Chain A
Amino acid sequence: MSETRTSTGQAFRATLKRDLLIAYKRKNDVVNPFMFFLIVATLFPIGITPEPERLGEIAAGVLWIAALLASLLAMDSLYRADYEDGSLEQLLLSSHPLYFMVLAKNIAHWLVSGLPVVLVSPLIAYMLNLPPESYLILFVTLLLGTPILSLLGSIGVALTVGLGSRGLILAVITLPMSVPILIAGTLTVQQTLNGASLLGYLAIMGAMLLAAISLAPLASAAALRISVN
């Protein structure tokens, strides 16, 4: 019998590794939101106009909304399996602060569902005729913004994890909360295109990300305790 207790850092890494391993073994959960993002982005030119000029104007918004919806779709798998098989109870009963365990799960989830969307965004941006000078800015805003979407979505999922069917209620709860990030993301792209300095906007998004990292897992943790109760 080993006698050493794990530090919070070790437990954090173990949880992160476990969730990444699960994602690796369940490739569907990773691929589906990504495909969803591509398909939604494709629907806009078909539904609105194939005309390059007008597409270029709405490209940033389209990409952001597609990323938002993809993130929402991916959220569902965050706690559900753990809730159903009892792993969530084990997580709650560990001697480490739940904040870090939730954060580990959120990070793992973003790495497999948010990051691929961010990585492919320049390609979609090209297809939607976004002005080339905006690629980098769009990429950076998505990189800063999608983790916030994941962290906020986590609260909604944690609140509804005990419900049988919760697809719609999750959307009703989380989508309005995502509006400030949508605004910050799209405004950054548009305003820098108009010649505003990028730094101020990125600072705002960075501040939002920091606030989300420090507060959202607390709310998720409280919500998980309630849902498991």
Chain B
Amino acid sequence: MVRPGEHDILLTSMHNLNSRQESAVQRANYMWMWFSKLGSPKWFYELSGKWLPWLVVAMSLLLVVGITWALLFVPPDYQQGNTIRIMYIHVPFASISLAFFPLMAVAGTITLVWRMKLADMVAKTAAPLGAWFTALALASGSIWGSDIWGTWWIWDGRLTSMLLQFFLLVGVISLRSALEDAEAAAKACAVLSIVGCINVFVIKYSVDWWNTLHQPSSGFSLSDQAPNPPEVWIPLVIMIFAIYLFFAVSLILSIRNEILVRERRSQWVEELVQGT
């Protein structure tokens, strides 16, 4: 079986354009092909290959600066003492965790509307990564709060909605692995991600509401930090950027693997394999 590349399809369609009057539908088809070429796996693989080293360098620099600053130079908090240093891990992870469902919902919409292969690869690799990020945000959050709370877990609003988001992500992952047909799995997960994204926001607000009614004054909450001096928040900003870059790098690495698997029968991947 010979698998025609994009090129062949383009040629066929060009031929049709010449031989027949160009209809609006064919024009739409042609546009679609151009669009899918722009977001084609090959294009992404090559571009990300060029960008990856720079991203890794930037990430490493920011991480070294950020962690050194956080561990050595940040003054201990007058209330929390040295546990404040946990914030520099927890807050970046928690803030990125909130981005996963919107990211997957956008990717899912693109998958459903334009059927772009790359979007589904992003959605597929983002889900497990999101579960890991959320899990780490949960763990670091409970360790950070344990001293003040006197226990490893309380039903704090933030923690609870984070836990529920973790469950939703696990749902997306298990739906993906349960459906055998890759295309059906892509679309089903796209729908679930869009529904889940709406739900994450509803959950967040309802859990906050529930939490404030049950614990009118919980004292310490992970969400409300007093206004901090620059020597406290500048390293935090550095760490947020560093961990965002880390997220980008590990997402790109996984997407590149996914591309190699899904496009294994295409000419360019075979050539790439030969070259190694």
Contact = CB atoms under 8 A, between A and B. Distances in A.
A binds B: yes
Interface of A: 155, 159-160, 162-163, 166, 169, 172-173, 175-177, 179-180, 183-184, 187, 190-191, 215, 219, 222-223, 226-227, 229
B195 interface: yes
Interface stretch (B21-29, B162-170, B247-255): B162-170
Contacts of B170: 172
Nearest to B202: A180
A180 B171 CA distance: 17
Contacts of B202: 180
B171 A187 contact: no
B164 A176 contact: yes
Contact of A179 (B178, B196, B206): B206
20 contacts: A159-B188, A160-B175, A162-B179, A163-B179, A169-B175, A172-B167, A175-B167, A176-B168, A176-B171, A177-B195, A179-B164, A183-B207, A187-B209, A187-B213, A215-B198, A219-B194, A222-B112, A223-B191, A226-B184, A226-B188
Contacts of B205: 180
Given A223-B191, A226-B187, A227-B188, A159 B175 contact: yes
B34 interface: no
Contacts of B168: 176-177
B188 A176 contact: no
Interface residues of B, number: 29
B167 A176 contact: yes
Contacts of A160: 175, 178
A191 B210 CA distance: 11
B84 interface: no
Interface in B151-185: 164, 167-168, 170-171, 174-175, 178-179, 183-184
Interface of B is mostly: helix
Contacts of B183: 229
B192 interface: yes
A187 B210 contact: yes
Contacts of B207: 179, 183
Contact of A222 (B191, B198, B199, B210): B191
B187 A219 contact: no
- Among A162, A176, A223, A227, the one with the most B-chain Cβ atoms within 10 Å of its Cβ is A176
Interface of B: 112, 164, 167-168, 170-171, 174-175, 178-179, 183-184, 187-188, 191-192, 194-196, 198-199, 202-203, 205-207, 209-210, 213
A173 B191 CA distance: 12
B171 A219 contact: no
Contacts of B199: 176-177, 180
A172 B188 contact: no
Contacts of A227: 184, 188
Nearest to B172: A173
A163 B184 contact: no
Contacts of B167: 172, 175-176
Nearest to A171: B171
Given A159-B175, A176-B164, A222-B191, A229 B209 contact: no
A184 B210 CA distance: 8
Nearest to A223: B191
B122 to A, nearest CB: 19
Contact of B178 (A155, A166, A226): A166
A153 to B, nearest CB: 12
